[in-house]
Homo-oligomer: A and B are copies of this chain.
Amino acid sequence: MQAAPAPTRHDQATRLLHQCGATVTPARVRVLQLLLAADAAMSHQSLQQAAAASGHPFDKVTLYRVLDWLTGQGLVHSVAGHDRVRRFSLMNPHHAHAHFECSVCGRLFCLRGSLASAALELPPGFASDRVDITVHGRCAGCTAAATAPRSRGKDPGV
């Protein structure tokens, strides 16, 4: 997280907002910028910290509301991890995609690419609507940290 995100990201965020025909507010742009720059899904807390680190802290409630709004607009989607914390990431074009939750650092990634179509048999009367697939395991960062413990020590704190 740089002190000043690249102008391209600001434009990108603004464009995304214009595309869904709603007011472009600084808070929305800034949240989108942060999400555009993120390599993993971000929690409310990590977004707040990132904003605070860049000198413009979010109000807690405003951030929740912006995230709700973005989710409602379909620009962003949220996933709750095993720690019961919601994490947000840009809605990517892969309509149905799986997630990866690292059991070491807790970070959550969106997996792109071939999603296994899970053919499950449901009990009678049950109607399937959407299937969520979450892979649990160790992310690249934590695998590297485990094999080379010297380079460890950076807990993303997401």
Would B128 and A120 count as touching, CB distance under 8 A?
no
Would B111 and A120 count as touching, CB distance under 8 A?
yes
* Residue A2 at the chain B interface, CB threshold 8 Å: no
- Give the contacts of A130-151 with B (CB-CB under 8 A): 130-141, 143-144
Number of copies: 2
Please count how many residues in chain A sit with their CB below 8 Å of the partner chain's CB atoms.
41
Binary B-proximity of A115-131 (CB < 8 A = 1, otherwise 0) = 11111111111111111
From B86, B116, B129, B143, give the contact of A84 (CB < 8 A): B86
Would B120 and A130 count as touching, CB distance under 8 A?
no
Would A133 and B130 count as touching, CB distance under 8 A?
no
From B82, B115, B138, give the contact of A120 (CB < 8 A): B115
**Residue from the set A98, A103, A113 with the largest chain B CB neighbour count within 10 Å:** A98
Which residues of B lie under 8 Å from residue A130 when comparing CB positions? 135-137
From B103, B123, B140, B143, give the contact of A140 (CB < 8 A): B123
In the bound complex, how far is the Cα of B98 from the Cα of A126, in angstroms? Answer: 14
Residue of B nearest to A119 (CB): B116
Would B116 and A143 count as touching, CB distance under 8 A?
no
Residue of B nearest to A115 (CB): B120
* Residue A80 at the chain B interface, CB threshold 8 Å: yes
Q: A116-B116, A125-B139, A127-B143 are in contact. List 7 more A-B contacts (CB 8 A).
A: A115-B118, A115-B120, A123-B140, A126-B140, A128-B135, A130-B137, A132-B136
